[in-house]
Structure 1
Amino acid sequence: MTASSIPATLGFSVFGTGPEPVLVLHDWLGDQSNYDTLLPHLDGAAFTYAFVDLRGYGHSKHLRGDYTIDEIAIDCLGVADALGWSRFHVIGHSMTGMATQRLAADAPSRIKSAVAVCPISAAGNRLSTEATAFFALTCENDDAFRRLVKFVTAGAPDDWVDAKLRRNREEVAVECRRRYLDMMTTTDFSDEVHGLTTPWLVIVGDRDAGLDAEAMKATFLAWHPNAQLAEMKDCGHYPMQTIAPAFASLVETFLRTHAD
């Protein structure tokens, strides 16, 4: 995978040289390196993957902005333009699940298909006052961060959690952490996505508390006539890291179905 950046666009890394372009987005807690474990299992002859860092993350850590869903969509289309992609697939994880919907609403003719992994939807993730305070605490408090990761992974090993913490503190700008949390918990553009005919694969882990199959049935599957749900077994919030071979197979089977 080779790192790239083009002036005025997000930083990204490219893997593969195949004819089917795929834009890949990360979650709130981590940058594009979330997908490093996945790379050996991807078909680089069939697909070209661009792993993007949002403003404030990884290769884009220096970029400041408004940290809104509209900005994310504009930035992602800028990366696609820079790569010469007129049409492409998009994968979003957790926070950027809603970005797959924003992109499909804003540029429906450009999105071949979308994969939403353990996603927050266009309706946002409404939290109680207590939960909001806890999530905000994770932006600075290491113990709170560890507790959150343990919760969404159903008790991942300590060394794995600590590695995710170190990466977050090194590669996610302090300025953006709370702003993206505000985006996730206050955004609602669900009225703009009802009826979108983009093909969606919605993936959840059976051990991911909160963002479960029932939540997806009430959002993505209720709104999008061409959405399908896949529940991965013995899996929490990070299937691309914890069960990479099965995740790659599931995703690429879907992408091939919607290739040109």
Structure 2
Amino acid sequence: MARAQANGLELEYDTFGDPGDPPLVLVMGLGAQMITWEEDFCALLAGRGFFVVRYDNRDVGLSTWLDDLPAPDLAALAAGDLATAPYLLSDLADDAVGLFDALGIAKAHVVGASMGGMIVQQLAIDHPDRLLSVTSIMSTTGDPAVGRAEPWALALLTRPPANTREQAIADSVEGYRRLGSPGYPDDEAFLLAKAELHYDRARHPAGTLRHAAAVVASGDRTAALRSVRLPALVVHGDADPLINVSGGKATAEAIPGAELLVIPGMGHNLPRAVWPELADAIERVTGQ
């Protein structure tokens, strides 16, 4: 893995495949490290003829942590006072463009999951000249009327961070299990190993809180998405408890000509069993 200077920050990244192939940049979600894009999935995409780049967003993983910024007031944000958000999704989108520049990428296909889907939507709005296509997975437009979480799922996401490694890992395993795909349940040993890997690599709850503030403060992208003129794919599971499938449907409706792929039994994760179907859809939208 390596680090790139981008937008005044250091972004940790790694790559898969031939640098001469069309670049495909993977953008992960709220508080999620780039290793959430599993190596085997990245290798699968590289095998389809892409130069795959995954990276840690600011404030997560091994990229720059912005702990000098004040803690956001989520209650004030929810009430409409946006001034307490340390940064916005547009800043995270600018980070991606900075990474493009550092890697010498003129234009890229972009794929984002959850908050990463919001970031690639913002990229399509702010920097359409730097994109070849956009894929938004298990995400939403920012319209509060769509994509609503089940109350219990939101409670899982917003509970106070654990004080010990043991409890943090247990909380992560519970979250993975309950937010994941009922049609494709994961083995408990896999979930435990994943939780341990992510905790030991870089745990940063303060950054996750600032990510949440960016999502809340960035508002509704629906009107701006109607101006997007890029090949677009929207993927969502019909069993997603954290971002209801209505969020994906609204995203596809907002982007002219977007393909909508709803995967039965998929929750708020990317189970290995759906990777071939997802890779096929990404190939379609990119024209590979």
TM-score category (smaller protein): 0.7 to 0.9
Q: Does 1:196 align with 2:235?
A: no
Aligned counterpart, 1:20: 22
Residue deviations 1:80-125 (CA, integer Å, cap 9, x gap): 0111112111110011111111111111111111011111334366
CA distance in 1, matches of 2:226, 2:232: 13
Q: Which of the two has higher C-alpha Rg? A: 2
| Counterpart contact for 1:113–1:255, Cα < 8 Å | yes
Change (3 A) 1:246 1:216: closer
Equivalences for 1:31-180 in 2 at 5 Å? 31-35=33-37, 36-44=39-47, 46-60=49-63, 62=65, 66-123=86-143, 132-137=154-159, 139-140=161-162, 142=168, 143-153=170-180, 154=182, 156-170=186-200, 171-180=202-211
SS at structure 1 position matched to 2:227: coil
Rounded to whole Å, the distance in 1 between the matches of 2:108 and 2:257 is 17
1:37 and 1:240 in contact (8 A); partners too = no
Q: Distance in 1 between matches of 2:225 and 2:50?
A: 27
Which whole-Å CA distance do the structure 2 matches of 1:106 and 1:186 have between them? Answer: 17
CA contact (8 A) 1:149 1:161 kept: yes
Q: CA deviation at 1:21?
A: 1.1
Counterpart residue identity of residue 199, structure 2: R
Aligned residues with identical type, % of pairs: 22
Distance 2:270 2:128 in 1: 27
Amino acid at match of 2:178: F
Shift of 1:61: 5.5
Contact 1:122–1:188 under 8 Å retained in 2: yes
Matched AA of 2:28:
H
Moved more, 183-192 or 15-24: 183-192
Q: Secondary structure at the match of 1:60?
A: coil
In 2 relative to 1, CA 240–19 (structure 1 residues): closer, same or farther, beyond 3 Å?
Answer: farther
State how far apart, in whole Å, the 1-side matches of 2:89 and 2:52 are: 22
Paired with 2:148 and 2:129, the residues of 1 have a C-alpha distance of: 30
- State how many pairs are aligned: 254
Partner SS state of residue 229, structure 2: coil
Shift of 1:133: 4.9
SS of corresponding position for 2:46: coil
| CA positional deviation for 1:201 | 0.5
> Which blocks of at least 5 consecutive residues in structure 2 are unaligned?
70-85
- Indicate the residue corresponding to 2:3 in structure 1: 5
1:229 maps to 260
SS at match of 2:24: strand
> Partner of 1:85: helix, strand, or coil?
coil
**1:127-167 deviation per Cα after TM superposition (whole angstroms, max 9, x unaligned):** 69886554221643645443332222135332233233323
Question: Are 2:4 and 2:13, in contact at CA under 8 Å, matched by a contact in 1?
Answer: no
> Is 1:239 matched up with 2:259?
no
Q: Tell whether the 8 Å contact from 2:25 to 2:110 is kept in structure 1 after alignment.
A: yes
How far apart in 1 are the matches of 2:286 and 2:17? 15
Residues 120, 138 of structure 1: alpha-carbon distance in 2 compared, 3 angstrom cutoff: farther
Amino acid at match of 2:112: G
**C-alpha contact (below 8 Å) 1:91/1:100 kept by paired residues:** yes
| 2:283 equivalent to 1:252 | yes
The CA distance in 1 between the partners of 2:31 and 2:197, in whole Å, is 9
State the TM-score, normalized to the length of structure 2: 0.76
Return the letter of the residue paired with 1:112: L
Which consecutive unaligned segments of at least 5 residues does structure 1 have?
none
CA distance in 1, matches of 2:101, 2:204: 26
The 1:33–1:210 alpha-carbon spacing in structure 2 relative to 1, beyond 3 Å, is: closer
Which residue among 247, 253, 278 is the counterpart of 1:215?
A: 247
**Matched-pair contact (CA < 8 Å) for 1:9–1:78:** no
Deviating more after overlay: 12-21 vs 157-166 = 157-166
